[in-house]
Structure formats: structure tokens, C-alpha cells
Amino acid sequence: RGGETRVGVERMFGLMDRFLKSDPSSLQKDILDHVEYTVARSRFSFDDFEAYQALAHSVRDRLIERWHDTQLHFKKKDPKRIYFLSMEFLMGRSLSNSAINLGIRDQYADALKELGFEFEVLAEQEGDAALGNGGLARLSACQMDSLATMDYPAWGYGLRYQYGLFRQVILDGYQHEQPDYWLNFGNPWEIERVHVTYPVKFYGTVEDENFNGGKRKVWLPGETVEAVAYDNPIPGHGTRNTITLRLWAAKPSDQIDMESYNTGDYINAVVNRQRAETISSVLFPDDRSYQGKELRLKQQYFFVSASLQDIIRRFKDSHSNFDDFPEKVALQLNDTHPSLAIAEVMRVLVDEEHLGWNRAWDIVCKIFSFTTHTVLPEGLEKVPVDLLESLLPRHLQIIYDINFDYIEELKKRIGLDYDRLSRMSIVEDGAIKSIRMANLAIVCSHTVNGVSRVHSELLKTRVFKDFYELWPHKFDYKTNGVTQRRWIVVSNPSLSALISKWLGTEAWIRDVDLLAGLQEQAANADLHEEWRMVRKVNKMRLAEYIEAMSGVKVSVSAMFDVQIKRIHEYKRQLLNILGIVHRYDCIKNMEKSDRTKVVPRVCIIGGKAAPGYEIARKIIKLCNAVAEKINNDPDVGDLLKLVFIPDYNVSVAELVIPGADLSQHISTAGHEASGTGSMKFLMNGCLLLATEDGSTVEIIEEIGKDNMFLFGAKMHEVPALREKGPTLKVPLQFARVVRYVM
């Protein structure tokens, strides 16, 4: 726009703070206005949910204000932007987090009190945004919070699934999946951008076309779907920086297919168009393997294509050519899921922007970084060539061309070692010819990140050994972290107040290292007493929840021993359950007088199984069967209880973690890439029972071996143990329990 607008913008920028006030009566008026005009209820009669909606909209107004300021600021500065591409984000709830990061939670709580409402009660009305499976997706959410807090000019890009991760219902001990239609009651945290839309194309053919005396490739797509942006502002803590998580929804394209309309079959033409929306309809609930499904590939390309059109449009707003592209754009691939972005950038630069292949390749090699979250080679995505050829024919050609140049280069570097060349090729020749997405990502990225130190070692010595030998400089790691804003301040407000009191500052909320200052008070009995009280209140809250969810009454003076995470064989929930059976057996066989020496224990297990993962589903059934036996044995009473918490998600974690005394992270060494749950328990003062796996190895170095219960085989011992097979005879009672459900 013209210069006049820019002057206006400058003036407005200075005035922004004055628009929305945060004193109690302004907040009250604001909430009541939203009750009347947004929720359309009478300001004299509205329930808790309607009050939550009005409150959320009031907080959202303040978010939008800062978010606009942030966009204007970065538009003016034009810094290098970080674009974080991820198929999954597990954001959980937004109300408390946003109000706290904006620094106005207490003002809202006071304002609501006078209106007759409790902030915490209204916060409970919000449902989780569960657009992801597990650790990878929650890490994305934590990273967004940190990027905002640390003042980075960052954008998150992903998909706005209409159905998030399924809801888990337990019937007769078995997991049943129910759809999570999370948008049913509206979502005040997103802003629909009806004008930010891009066409995304699929199928069709590639033709040769004459161009400048030569030939060039032209993709003639067969289907077009529209991507519409939904923006979710992410506020930093203690800063005005409020970044964007932009999620794409699929809508039928405006480009009317005249032929279908003219054939007179109007109803079918409309119904067919509507099918476009299925692309962003549902999150795949499998966190293990790639199944070669067309819908999944469509989702990947859909979000990658829309995001790149958006990123390139933003770049071109202030640049007339692509010379500065690598200085202004960093693209972070969250696992291989968005790695079609590599072929897409090549396609746009070569076919649409008419850059030469070599110049485009030079740019691509400077802008991509790749984070992998897997340990096992079988966890790496492979896309069948047939599928790619039909859905994205031009991209397949580009990947073949990249592979051709790369293999030629490789031959010069390593000679004609055909075994190695075939292992390192992006294309896998086999029964099903496929594209190895991890190889594509490694070849084109300038850094390849592991998520913990041992994970990175495994990548270098096993999973990507060939690549490490070729490009040692590319390999790096960034050990995962979690945000203390959500995992202490939001989820454990009493502990948060205690920490600030004893440290004499709230600065630790932005700088987690300051927590080390508590060490000076490590022997202080008053601190211990206050901390014990905080834990007790959190345990009472958790005990109430357990009783409401499972009908089991648990004693808060018992030790709460927790394992919450996705159900996987390698995470060894089965080992935990067998341990509980053993404990039960010991108590039963004990002299009555010895029972006084037993520490009463409540074992808590929670987590979802991928719907197609039979063994994981059976582990859930086993847990519930063992729980039923133990919990109904009056002879054992409060000495041992077992509860399976259904529908584990971010909000359940926020409730369970502050009430845990002991938590289990017991994966077979060499299998957990990092693990982030341990950090959340740890920062709430919970003890860890853990194997030397993933991030645990680094946690031991931070907190010392004496502060952790370490057990189990070391990583280097595992292969020999596997080879040897089971050495223990399974006691009869174990075998009986396992047979009962397996």
C-alpha cells in the first residue's frame, strides 16, 4: 500500500497499548460485552461454558493486538524467519497459558470473582487441541512457546484437522476409539483468514513445452483444492512477541469444473467438490510406521504446498529476486513428514520462477534443516513410487533428477561401491519401488538433528552411518526440552508460587537455569514442608479425578507411581504391569506383621494405543484386568492399587504430573530417541525410575545418579541379551495373567 498508510501504521503502533485496558472493570465490561455480542447470551444469564467463551474472546482480543504489532514489527525489520513445518501440534488448552503469558491471569481471576465465576472452573470448560500423537507433537507445541518467548521471528505451519487424535474409551477393559470432533463448540483461539488461500494441485500429467529455444516441463494437474489459513497466535512470556501457528484447512476450489455442472448432474458435482475437505479431516493416529496411504501423502503435500506458497509470497513482498532467499528463510522439517517440501521448492523455483536447476539446487541446500525423532530404521518413511507418480508426477521426476545428480557425485566420492550406493540412494529398488524420505531429507538439508546425545550417536553409528561418513559436518543434535511455562506455571500454580518465593524472583519463568538457585535451600526444612503441602494438595486433586474416572478410591498418603505415555512394546508398560503383579503376589504371601513395612502404592498407567497395534491394545486390557483383580482384593486394601487413566492427553498430563511421587521411563535402552515426559515430572519434584536411554543419560549428568532410580541393561548390552533370548522361567502366576488376555 501507499506511503500514507505506512505513516498511519507508525502512529497506530505507538497507540496500541492504550486500546485494551487490563484493570478489573475494563476486563469485566469486556467479558460481559462478549457474553452479549459474541456468545449472544443475555449478560444477566449465562452458564460456565458461555462465560468461558466470553473470557476466551476477551483474552483473544489482547492476543490479536500483540500479534498485529509483532507482524508489523517483523514486516518492517525483514529478519531471517524460521519456518517450522510439522504435521502435528499437541497444543492442549490455551486459556490459562495465554492469560499467563500475557501477564494478566490474576487480573482476570479478580475480575471474574466479582462476577461470581472462578478462573480455574472456567478453564476446565476448554477442550484440548489434540492435533498430534505423542512426544513429537508436544515438542512442536513446546517449541512454539519457546520461540515466542525468546523473541524469534518464527512461524509454525501445519494442518487444521477436523478430527484430532481419537478419544479413548475403556469398555470391559478394552480400548475403543471415538472421534474427537474438537471444533463442535467453536474454537476462539483461531482466526479464519478467508483471504489467505492458495490452490493446491494434484494428479494430472507432465508435458514438454517449448521454451526459449529449448524444452521445459509443464505439470498439468488434474485436481485443485483450496487451502484456507487458520491462524493461532502464540504469545511469548514477558515479551510482546506473539508468533503465528498457521494451520491449513482444505476447501473445494473456486475454479468451477464447468463440465460437471453442464452435464446437468448438479447435485453430484457439488457432492464431489465437497470431498476436497476430507484432506484435512482426520489425523492419522499411528505413531510408528508409514502405511503408504494416499490420503496421508495428500495431507503432506497439501500442507507443504500451501505453506511454501505463503512463505514465497511473503518473501517476494519485499524482494525482487531469489538471491537473498537463503538469508531470509530457514525451513525446519519436523521429521520426514514434510520432506516433500524439498521437491516442491525445486519445482516452484525451476518451473514457475524459471531459475536454472543448479541455482535452485544451491538455494535448496542452504535453507532446509531436518530433525529426526526415530531410532529404528523401520520407522523411516518410504513412499511407493507408484503412489507418488499418480498423485504428484512432476515431484517424482524432480526427486529422480535430484537422485541422479547426487548418485553421480557420490560415485566420485566413494567409488563404485554398489552396496553402499544402493543403501544411500533416495530411490529404493525392491518389491515395491519407493522413495526414502529420510535420505531425501539428509541429502538436501544442511543440518540433520537428533533429539538427544545418545540418539545422535545412534544416527551416526547405525541409522545414518553411511551419510555421517560422507558429511560429518551435517550431523548435530539439540537435546529436547519442555517449556516450564506450561509444565510448572500453568499446571502447578502452587509450586510456581513456592519457587518464586524461595528464589525471590519470577525470572526463572523465562530462564529455566535459574531454578538451580533452589539448591542453596536444599536442606531448608521450611521449604521441604511447604513443598510437601503443595504435593499433598495436588495428590488430592488427582485422587478425586481418579475416583471420578474409575470409581477407585485411593489414599493420598500412598506413593503415587506413574507411567503415562503412548503404549508401545519398547516403552515396556508390560514390564511395569508384571512388576505390579509381582508386588501383589509378594504382599499376598507376606506374614501379616511384615505388611507394616510395605510402602502403600497407587500405580497409575495411562496412554493410547494406535488403533491397528494389536499388542499395545492387549497391554491396555491386561492392565485393566490386573487392576480389577488387585483393587477388589480387600486383603491388600490400600497397600496396592492400580488404575488405568483413560483418554490420556495434555490436560490429563497437567493434572497427573504435579501429583506424582515416582514416574517410570523404562524403555529398552537404545529405543527411546529422547523422551520428554521425564523432564515434566522432574521439574515438578518427582523422582524418576528410569533406564539409561534417550535424554535420561543427560538428565543423570544434570541431577546425579543418587537422585534417580536407574536400572536395566545398558545400550551396548542389549543386542547380546536379545541374541541369548529369555533366560528366566516365567513364574506360573505371570503366565496365567498374561494368558488371560493375550
Among this protein's residues, is 571 annotated catalytic?
Answer: yes
Q: CB of residue 291 vs ligand NBX: minimum separation in angstroms?
A: 9
Annotated catalytic residue, options 138, 246, 373, 665 = 373
Residue in the shown chain whose Cβ atom is closest to ligand NBX: 135
Annotated catalytic residue, options 571, 621, 641, 665 = 571
CB nearer ligand NBX, residue 454 or residue 509: 454
- Of these, 143, 162, 480, 491, which contacts ligand NBX (CB under 6 A)? 480
In terms of DSSP H, where are the helices of 372-505?
A: 385-391, 393-414, 418-424, 437-444, 453-458, 465-470, 484, 493-503
Number of residues that bind ligand NBX (CB under 6 A): 17
- Of these, 156, 606, 675, 685, which contacts ligand NBX (CB under 6 A)? 675
- Of these, 444, 622, 639, 673, which contacts ligand NBX (CB under 6 A)? 673
Do 300 and 333 contact (CB within 8 A), yes or no?
Answer: no
Sign of the alpha-carbon dihedral angle for 492, 498, 499, 504? positive
Do 310 and 229 contact (CB within 8 A), yes or no?
Answer: yes
Task: Mark the segment that binds ligand NBX (CB under 6 A) among 53-61, 107-115, 218-226, 666-674.
Answer: 666-674
CB nearer ligand NBX, residue 566 or residue 601: 566
Among this protein's residues, is 565 annotated catalytic?
Answer: yes
Can you tell me the distance from the alpha carbon of 406 to that of 414, in angstroms, rounded to the nearest whole number?
Answer: 12
In terms of DSSP H, where are the helices of 78-208?
A: 95-101, 105-115, 119-123, 135-149
Q: Nearest to residue 299, comparing CAs of 386, 392, 236? A: 392
Q: CB of residue 103 vs ligand NBX: minimum separation in angstroms?
A: 29
Can you tell me the distance from the alpha carbon of 228 to that of 302, in angstroms, rounded to the nearest whole number?
Answer: 11
Annotated catalytic residue, options 566, 568, 583, 665 = 566
Among this protein's residues, is 278 annotated catalytic?
Answer: no
Lookup: cell for 301: 503435500
- Of these, 92, 135, 235, 338, which contacts ligand NBX (CB under 6 A)? 135
CB nearer ligand NBX, residue 164 or residue 694: 694
CB nearer ligand NBX, residue 139 or residue 643: 139
Q: CB of residue 563 vs ligand NBX: minimum separation in angstroms?
A: 15
Q: Nearest to residue 227, comparing CAs of 202, 203, 206? A: 202
CB nearer ligand NBX, residue 58 or residue 143: 143
Do 55 and 62 contact (CB within 8 A), yes or no?
Answer: no
- In sequence order, which residues have a C-beta less than 8 Å from that of residue 525 and are 6 or more positions away? none
- Of these, 38, 85, 134, 251, which contacts ligand NBX (CB under 6 A)? 134
Can you tell me the distance from the alpha carbon of 455 to that of 259, in angstroms, rounded to the nearest whole number?
Answer: 54
Q: How far is CA 521 from the centre of its chain?
A: 35
Among this protein's residues, is 373 annotated catalytic?
Answer: yes
Do 676 and 700 contact (CB within 8 A), yes or no?
Answer: no
Annotated catalytic residue, options 138, 485, 565, 618 = 565
- Of these, 38, 125, 305, 674, which contacts ligand NBX (CB under 6 A)? 674
What is the SS3 assignment for 274-340? HHHHHHHCECCCCCCCCCCCHHHHHHHHHHHHHHHHHHHHHHHHHCCCCCCHHHHEEEEEECCCCCH
- Of these, 101, 133, 434, 479, which contacts ligand NBX (CB under 6 A)? 133
Q: CB of residue 183 vs ligand NBX: minimum separation in angstroms?
A: 22
Task: Mark the segment that binds ligand NBX (CB under 6 A) among 68-76, 115-123, 160-168, 667-675.
Answer: 667-675
Can you tell me the distance from the alpha carbon of 177 to that of 184, in angstroms, rounded to the nearest whole number?
Answer: 18
Annotated catalytic residue, options 374, 680, 691, 696 = 680
Can you tell me the distance from the alpha carbon of 643 to that of 648, in angstroms, rounded to the nearest whole number?
Answer: 13
Among this protein's residues, is 412 annotated catalytic?
Answer: no
Q: Which of residues 351-390 bind ligand NBX (CB under 6 A)?
A: 373
Cell 518467548, located at residue:
149
Q: CB of residue 141 vs ligand NBX: minimum separation in angstroms?
A: 11
Can you tell me the distance from the alpha carbon of 390 to that of 203, in angstroms, rounded to the nearest whole number?
Answer: 6
- Of these, 85, 99, 112, 139, which contacts ligand NBX (CB under 6 A)? 139
- Of these, 30, 128, 180, 287, which contacts ligand NBX (CB under 6 A)? 287
Q: Which of residues 677-716 bind ligand NBX (CB under 6 A)?
A: 694
Which residues are annotated as catalytic? Answer: 373, 565-566, 571, 676, 680
Binding site for ligand NBX (CB under 6 A): 133-137, 139, 287, 290, 373, 451, 480, 672-676, 694
